[in-house]
Amino acid sequence: MLRAFNRCLKSCLGSFVLLVALTGPAGAAEVSVEQWGIFDVSLSGSTNGNPFVDVQFSTHFSFATSTVEVAGFYDGDGIYRVRFMPDKPGPWHYTTRSNRPELDAKTGEFTVTAPSVGNHGSVQVANTYHFAYGDGTPFRPIGTTSYNWAHMVDALEEQTLVSLVASPFNKIRMCIFPKHNPENTNELALYPFAGTPPKTWDFSRFDPRFFQHLEKRVGDLRDRGIEAELILFDPYDKGRWGFDRMPAEVDDRYVRYLVSRLAAYRNIWWSLSNEYDFNKQKKESDWDRLFRVLQAADPYGHLRSIHNGFLIYNHTQPWVTHASIQNGAAVEDAGRAELYRDVYRKPVVYDEVKYEGNIWKRWGNLSAEEMVFRFWQGTVAGTYVTHGEVVTNEQHTLWTSEGGKLFGQSPSRLAFLRRVLAESPATGIDPIDKWQDSNMGGKLGEYYLLYFGKQMLTSWPFELYKDHIANGMKFKVEVLDTWAMTITPVEGEFVTKKKDNYHFVDEEGRTIALPGKPYMALCIRRVPEPAGSSLKGPPPPADVPPE
């Protein structure tokens, strides 16, 4: 009980951003909140009956001619809240609405100021296949997975945060419901619903303390610049608590309550389920319904996806913003990885490609080299890849299950990849020649990232695909050792000359020396032309098959 109280106290303090207590004295100082911050309205109300189902409470926020309706929620102890994430600077007004008079028709105003340093807003889809923050800053996910890190003791959770800050990871996938472990029958301090574990739950009443703690950890991630991808459902209960087999109306109410509490956090992504097809208690139509409930409940349109086991969900559905895919084989080759882009015409994130680890299960025994290899293959394909780690250690924790410390060798190499991507075009990496040479991605005529993978070449003849290339264009080349994490500039410039109907080469026939080892790459950048130059590449070609 003491641990639960401490968690509740820390959660309440940690999630505090701006609190407007409308029961307070009049004449208070002007209230302000930064753009994409959280404006929190708090009201005292009745505790009679069941506040989670009997009370309707929302607030209309208005700016100029636009209005946003945001659902409120009951936070326990007679407190009702509405959280709002304003997306425009300037004066805002609000009016509450409720079926309870003490919560209805309360009005106020506040000023939204410029965002603070590091606050770029929520991540959204950009340029069809990529992501960007609300202010347009590109977001290139180098994600990781730690399903249960927010269900651990406080010391381990804090250690996870320290590890994340020292890592390259800017997104983490995490479960909301606990994961059943047959080797560990200890119960958690907090659960989403009121009741007594393992199965005596009142599914009509939430436990606010659980969600307060979750909010604190989401806020901790936000403050460290890390996106929180919350997995709403999973198949890992296996009947222990019954959270995987709740009635449809309970599922729907849970989704709405969760969204009302957490959608105002700018770093939220929603993953409707992990390995959704392994949950035999739900049909495909249930997932379609839950997606619609989720989409309707979120006034900010946070990113929405669903993760598969064997059967891939229909990601062409309009409520899916990007494809979250488990497939280790696809990212063994950039050509295979790229195919999903053409199918879905949305960003593709390979959220599970197996894990770096040394356990006996085949999904948990990738070498670090193989994990990094799969990231690079996915990158030049114009897709994104997520990390996982199950390396046994003296701490007796597995990162992908409990968090804690990172023991693998891939994170430092993924930091190198993140450094490379930070200097790539803002529009993202896209395939260069989808009909051939799939190991090259970039931006036509400007930037090329060529990954040799497991090939051990001693040289590469400079050669670029024809689109947006003309004679006389100049390029600089760097040799990247993606394992040793080194960047070596190649001396001089390469000047293009047409070779045939499909390629341009260096006018002097130059080649680039390579060290004859695996995991090498080239970064090729066009040299800017002097001001007033008329040298430009040809117009983009029609999208037709090669001759």
Q: How many CA atoms lie within 13 A of 508 on its CB side?
A: 8
Q: Determine the angle formed by the axes of helices 2-14 and 208-223, rounding to 10 degrees.
A: 50
Residue 541 is predicted with a pLDDT of 52
Q: What's the pLDDT at 132? A: 98
Q: What is the DSSP string of 300-331?
A: T---EE---SSSPP-TTSTT--SEEEE-TTGG
pLDDT per position as a tens digit, 468-520? 999 999 999 999 999 999 999 999 999 999 999 999 999 999 999 999 999 99
Report the interhelical angle of 208-223 vs 154-165 (nearest 10°): 20
Set out the domains of the chain in order of their start, with CATH numbers.
2-113 (2.60.40.10), 141-422 (3.20.20.80), 432-526 (2.60.40.3950)
* β-bridge partners, 96: 59
Per-residue confidence (pLDDT) for residue 338, from 0 to 100: 96
Rounded to 5 degrees, φ, ψ at 66 are -100, 145
Q: Please, are residues 503 and 468 in contact by the beta-carbon 8 Å criterion?
A: no
Per-position b or e across 427-455, b if 16+ CB within 10 A of its CB: bbbbbbbbeebbbbbbbbbbbbbbbbbee
Rounded to whole angstroms, the Cα distance separating 534 from 472 reads: 11
Q: Report the alpha-carbon distance of residue 529 to residue 300 in Å, rounded.
A: 42
CA distances from 43 to 12, 79, 106, 260 (A): 15, 6, 9, 15
CB 94 within 8 A of CB 80: no
Question: pTM to 2 decimals?
Answer: 0.92
What gap in Å lies between CA 501 and CA 484, rounded to an integer?
A: 37
Query: Which pLDDT belongs to residue 110?
Result: 98
pLDDT value of residue 153 = 95
Strand partners, 348: 323
- Residue that has been written with the tokens 């200097």 in this structure: 423
pLDDT at 25: 38
Taking the C-alpha atoms of residue 247 and residue 353, their distance in angstroms, rounded to an integer, is 32
Weakly modelled stretches of the chain, pLDDT under 50: 1-18, 21-28, 542-547
> What is the model's pLDDT at position 434?
86
Going by the DSSP 8-state scheme, the letter that residue 181 receives in this structure is: B
